[in-house]
Amino acid sequence: MERVVLFNTMGRRLQDFKPIKEGEVGMYSCGPTVYGRAHIGNMRAYVFADTLKRVLLYAGYNVKHVMNITDVGHLTSDADDGEDKLAKAARENHETAWEISKRWAEQFSKDTASLNVLPVSIACKATEHIADQIALVKTLEEKGYTYRTSDGIYFDTAKFPQYADFAHLDIEGLQAGIRVDMSEKRNKTDFALWKFSKPTEKRDMEWDSPWGVGFPGWHIECSAMSMKYLGKTFDIHTGGIDHVTIHHTNEIAQSECATGQRFVNYWLHCEFLTMSNQEKMSKSLGNVVNLDTLREYGIKPLAFRYLCLNAHYRKQLLYSKEILMGANNAYNKWCNFMENLKKENPKQLPLNELSTEAVKYLEEFKQGVFNNLNTPQALATMWNLIHDKNINNDEKYTLLMDFDKVFGLTEVNAEPEVQMEIPAEVLDLLDQRNRFRAEKNWAQADAARDAIKNLGYVIIDTKEGAKVQKI
């Protein structure tokens, strides 16, 4: 295993990465909210998580990567009120929330695949883990961290004295700074764990719970699913920088209060993709661009990946059409160079057979990527190598193919995945579950899913449909 240094938001410092289990990494990334098409700002966050995973794989680790799909609607405001974004999109499109979330989750898989984002080990949907979320809220209730209001069950942040530490929050300032609608909340920072459906409304997505019919709060799914698949304490959690102050702060509070243990050892956050006028790209600001917009400009999605790699993940990435065109030119140059090189039929050598001059490039590349993912430096190394007349084609090819394990810039034609042997009983249950879901028979579908789980398999939703994988 190579030495990897990472910037930990927890404590705001560079740290040597030390996994809990030798050679293994458990990593969780906050995934998309599937009420609409993900924009390239969101994509930056997933290219970043993918680059981190590739760097860890390159360093010799096995990585178990879990990502959630938020297919339960978020409320439009941070104060746990406002309209549910998914319900709003469903109403506007005359579809159900289930149809909307399915469509955009599939689109998300397509978009990330065209950016060469490696498939995650487990993609877990919030709607398929309602029981886990309820169980976590129950634990918090039993331990005395919750209270009930007329609209839901809330987490009492005053009972977690370290609440402000992670994000360096100024609670006093927050309390004084009014404008946060308190309604029946005891503290401004308290947040909903479970929300009740309003007696007057019939929601597409609602579930029974010990507290009444409703739906989970904003943050509980990430705690419930990450701990389910990675354990009570795991190695790495990623997300965009906007998640630090509320979402991840709340995840830490509810997880650590429930388990009495540290939740995550390393927190990594990527900065925003911003527009030339300094505002972040965001759906609510109406300034979004997606991968199809880039295609219309004649720009390949992988040129956007190149753009992401060419900026450090902790720095804002300025977006404009011109900047993107610049990245596209550089990316095309790289593609052309690789294509011409391949025409020479170069040999891919074992790395330990490289000359001293070539090894210098390898060392420099590693210095870059293992130093908190300094991909701009690693790209500069790559260009210097390309221009170096003293390195022969075999060595260049060997090194460039090796670097691409981290960069992921080579266009790959998706090959059909090899399905491992799955017991027929499990496949039969999967089939039943698909049918129940198509019939919107959620109770039976959940029962089939639980039976699959009891047989030691977990369902993963992929772009080709639901599959099962050994737990």
d(CA 300, CA 410): 12
Is residue 65 part of the contact set for ligand AMP (CB under 6 A)? Answer: no
Candidate ranges 276-284, 389-397, 399-407, 420-428; the one touching ligand AMP (CB under 6 A): 276-284
**Residue 226 binding result from Zn ion, ligand AMP, none, given CB thresholds of 5 to 8 Å by partner type:** none
Is residue 240 part of the contact set for ligand AMP (CB under 6 A)? Answer: yes
Q: Residue ranges of the alpha helices (H) in 77-214? A: 85-93, 97-114, 130-142, 171-176
Two structure tokens written together for 398: 């060997």
Is residue 32 part of the contact set for ligand AMP (CB under 6 A)? Answer: yes
Tell me how far apart the terminal alpha carbons of the chain are, to the nearest angstrom: 25
Distances (CA, A) of 117 to 9, 65, 284: 23, 12, 26
Cα angle 286-277-49, degrees, rounded to a multiple of 5: 70
Two structure tokens written together for 157: 């942040």
The count of other CB atoms within 10 Å of the CB of residue 162 is 10
Q: Residues 5 to 64: which contact Zn ion by CB under 5 A?
A: 30
Contact pick of 126, 222, 268, 429 for Zn ion (by CB under 5 A): 222
Two structure tokens written together for 166: 């992670």
Cα angle 309-315-320, degrees, rounded to a multiple of 5: 70
Two structure tokens written together for 335: 């593609």
Is 251 within 8 Å of 223 (Cβ atoms)?
Answer: yes
Least separation in angstroms between CB 153 and Zn ion: 19
Least separation in angstroms between CB 247 and Zn ion: 5
By beta carbon distance, the residue nearest ligand AMP is 240
Is residue 33 part of the contact set for ligand AMP (CB under 6 A)? Answer: yes
Is residue 409 part of the contact set for Zn ion (CB under 5 A)? Answer: no
**Residue 303 binding result from Zn ion, ligand AMP, none, given CB thresholds of 5 to 8 Å by partner type:** none
Is residue 193 part of the contact set for Zn ion (CB under 5 A)? Answer: no
**Residue 106 binding result from ligand AMP, Zn ion, none, given CB thresholds of 5 to 8 Å by partner type:** none
Is residue 45 part of the contact set for ligand AMP (CB under 6 A)? Answer: yes
Least separation in angstroms between CB 283 and ligand AMP: 7
Is residue 78 part of the contact set for ligand AMP (CB under 6 A)? Answer: no
Q: Quick one: how many helices (H) and strands (E) in the chain?
A: 15, 15
Contact pick of 273, 303, 311, 409 for ligand AMP (by CB under 6 A): 273
Positions in the binding site for ligand AMP (CB under 6 A)? 30, 32-33, 41-42, 44-45, 239-240, 242-243, 272-273, 280-282
